Amino acid sequence: MTVISLRSDKPMEKDSSCINICTCAHYLKSVLAEIPCGRLFRDIIGNREFFVTDESTGRLMSVPQDYLLEPGNWISNDLLNRVYQNTISILEDPDAIYKAGKNIFKTAVGSQVFLMRLAGVQTIINRLPKENAKFNANRSIKIIENQNGYAVVRIYWKDDPAVTKLFCDMNRGVYEGLGRLTGNPATVLEKMCQFSGGAFCEYHIKWKAKPIYSRLMDLIRIRLSQEIIDELERRIEEVNTIRLRQERIIELRTKDLQEQKREVVKAHCFLARYVPPQLAKKILAGDVAPVRDHHRRKLVMFFSDIKDFTRTTDAMEPEDMAELLNEYFSCMNDIIQKYGGTLANITGDALFVFFGAPDRTDDRDHALRCVRMAMEMQLKMQELQKKWFSEGIEYPLQIRCGINTGMATVGSFGSRQRSDYSAMGMQVNLASRLETACEPGGILISHSTWALTNDQIDCRSKETIVVKGFSRPLRAYEVKLGTNNGRKSAISGA
């Protein structure tokens, strides 16, 4: 997580690792048996200076407790100074931070214990500058002298008002605890302090010098431990390099996927303007067989056109006619999508819509949705007619609707360069003939459609009609357009 200061609106400085907080927490637990996190993090959690970015959502949030107790995370000097002050307040001990520093090596476990014992104090001191850089960016360390039993270490602290003598106390405690894990206790004397007017903090570290034969063994151990430590560090660096590389790959792939997703959404929106949304979804998903191949399906087919379209539009300017048609088709298309119809094509002022392909439920559902769609279209036209009349159109547009249910061949029709997803067959022609025979403002349905919908849609039977291309007269029904005729069901069933 990236640390953010909301007051400055800039990332908070990464001055110190949270391992320093963990050191205080371990010491508190050793004294109190449990860590009073509420008091340890008082004035920190919820403070608008200490917010972090949640990597999963990208949102800013208050720094959480688990973040502060994770050694690998980084914090500012200001935050760490408050933890130090809270630790002293909890224990009511002005030397609490110094004592916590002495306690730091009690938290070392496993291979750390083995390596520390193997290395000895002198080797550990030699490694201080390198180890310090892993966990602290608020100070630099210089080894002035390091002999058997005696060392001089200088610390140069970052110029930051938040860095106080408490930081010095922690470090002095850590150095005094160096010998505990090696079995050779050390004593630390602070000869100069940056917080008392000095240019740096200088520590003189003493521990029991070893005899020559023991120092010879130490040389062997140092050589061995150094090789082990170097090998471990090399392995850790390799793992970290691999991890960072994988994180970068994941980040790049995530960005690519997000970009691809945006392109797919954009393509779907664009494609849906030219083909039915159901087809656009299948095409983009790679499911092209239902679109490309031909199938015999039982469909509910709808045709509509505008009565006297030419007479109305001849008296209009081309721009006005285009605006009127766009409004009409937009309203009709919204209704088609509401009921899940497949808009096969628009020819001039005529619409051809069918239900049952490419997505299918059952014949009754298809028929009910189709009839209710037609009813809502006619009711919408009544609203548009009033609007257009008030806008100066002398002969408001009226539409005729025809609906039939029957078998048809559905699929892609056309050439390799240009195809339409549509349906063909005698039953399609019958739906078109019903639309032609319908009165303006009405809906005419076939007997096969009436049989599927008559328990919910009120119709009046018409005399049999003679339809071009059919050898015998056909029974047809006119849908009643009252607001109580399946209207409530139409809306809820869409």
- Supply the pLDDT for residue 6: 45
In a domain, 104, yes or no: yes
Structure tokens at 380: 């919408």
d(CA 170, CA 26): 14
Residues 86 and 125 in one domain: no
d(CA 122, CA 313): 99
* Higher-scoring residue by pLDDT: 414, 50: 50
In a domain, 329, yes or no: yes
Please classify residue 482 by burial: count the beta carbons closer than 10 Å to its beta carbon, then call 0-12 exposed, 13-18 middle and 19+ buried.
Answer: exposed
Question: Smallest Cα–Cα separation from 137: which of 273, 36, 3, 240?
Answer: 3
Q: Which amino acid is at 407?
A: M
d(CA 364, CA 331): 25
Residues 175 and 65 in one domain: no
> Would you call 481 helix, strand, or coil by DSSP?
coil
In a domain, 25, yes or no: yes
In a domain, 214, yes or no: no
Residues 482 and 381 in one domain: yes
Q: Are 309 and 397 in contact (CB under 8 A)?
A: yes
Q: Are 491 and 380 in contact (CB under 8 A)?
A: no
- Supply the pLDDT for residue 467: 77
Q: Are 409 and 295 in contact (CB under 8 A)?
A: yes
Q: Tally the residues of the chain.
A: 494
**Percent of all residues in the chain with a pLDDT value above 90, rounded to a whole number:** 39
> Would you call 13 helix, strand, or coil by DSSP?
coil
Structure tokens at 226: 């150094």
Mean per-residue pLDDT for 468-484? 82
Q: Pick from 67, 93, 119: which residue ends a domain? A: 93
Residues 431 and 474 in one domain: yes
Q: Which residues contact 206 (CB under 8 A, 6 or more apart)?
A: 149, 150, 186, 187, 188, 189
Q: Are 20 and 80 in contact (CB under 8 A)?
A: yes
Q: Angle at the Cα of 233 (from 227 to 238), degrees rounded to 5?
A: 125
What is the domain-level CATH number for residue 299? 3.30.70.1230
Residues 362 and 482 in one domain: yes
Element (H, E) at 429: helix 426-437
Structure tokens at 406: 């029957």
Cis peptide before 318 (omega within 30 of 0): no
In a domain, 107, yes or no: yes
* Higher-scoring residue by pLDDT: 214, 344: 344
Residues 352 and 389 in one domain: yes
Q: Which of 223-232, 327-336, 360-369 has the lowest mean pLDDT?
A: 223-232
What is the domain-level CATH number for residue 149? 3.90.1520.10
Q: Which amino acid is at 279?
A: L
Q: Which residues contact 350 (CB under 8 A, 6 or more apart)?
A: 303, 304, 305, 306
C-beta pairs of 110-117 under 8 Å, 24+ apart in sequence: 111/232, 113/181, 115/225, 115/228, 115/229, 115/232, 116/181, 116/182, 117/181, 117/182, 117/183
Question: In the predicted model, what is the mean pLDDT of the chain?
Answer: 81
**Percent of all residues in the chain with a pLDDT value above 70, rounded to a whole number:** 77
Residue holding tokens 């608020």? 138
**459-461/443-446 β-pairing:** unpaired
> Would you call 357 helix, strand, or coil by DSSP?
coil
Q: Which of 90-94, 180-184, 432-436 has the lowest mean pLDDT?
A: 180-184
- Supply the pLDDT for residue 212: 54
pLDDT at 491 over 50: no
> Would you call 46 helix, strand, or coil by DSSP?
coil
Give tens-digit pLDDT for 428-473: 999 999 999 999 999 999 999 999 999 999 999 987 888 777 778 8
* Higher-scoring residue by pLDDT: 213, 349: 349
Give tens-digit pLDDT for 33-88: 888 999 999 999 988 788 776 666 666 777 888 889 888 888 999 999 999 999 99
Q: Pick from 157, 184, 209: which residue ends a domain? A: 209
Residues 450 and 330 in one domain: yes
- Supply the pLDDT for residue 459: 93
Q: Residue 299 gets which letter from DSSP? A: E
Q: How far is CA 236 from CA 12, 73, 243, in A?
A: 27, 17, 10
Residues 87 and 20 in one domain: yes
Residues 30 and 135 in one domain: no
Q: Are 468 and 462 in contact (CB under 8 A)?
A: no
d(CA 87, CA 454): 81
Domain count, the chain: 3
Phi and psi, residue 343, nearest 5°: -80, 105
Mean per-residue pLDDT for 374-403? 89
d(CA 482, CA 379): 9
Mean per-residue pLDDT for 251-266? 76
Residues 139 and 56 in one domain: no
Element (H, E) at 246: helix 212-271
Mean per-residue pLDDT for 245-271? 73
Mean per-residue pLDDT for 252-260? 78
In a domain, 253, yes or no: no
Q: Which residues contact 494 (CB under 8 A, 6 or more apart)?
A: 338, 339, 340, 369, 372
d(CA 385, CA 393): 9
Mean per-residue pLDDT for 324-346? 91
Q: Are 86 and 80 in contact (CB under 8 A)?
A: no
In a domain, 452, yes or no: yes
Range of the domain at 42: 1-93
d(CA 318, CA 325): 10
pLDDT at 379 over 90: yes
Q: Pick from 186, 209, 232: which residue ends a domain? A: 209
pLDDT category at 273 given cuts 50, 70, 90 is: low
Structure tokens at 180: 């505990």
Structure tokens at 51: 């917010």
Mean per-residue pLDDT for 4-11? 51
In a domain, 288, yes or no: no
Residues 363 and 485 in one domain: yes
Give tens-digit pLDDT for 134-178: 889 999 999 999 988 899 999 999 999 999 999 999 989 988 887
Residues 23 and 167 in one domain: no
Structure tokens at 418: 């240009």
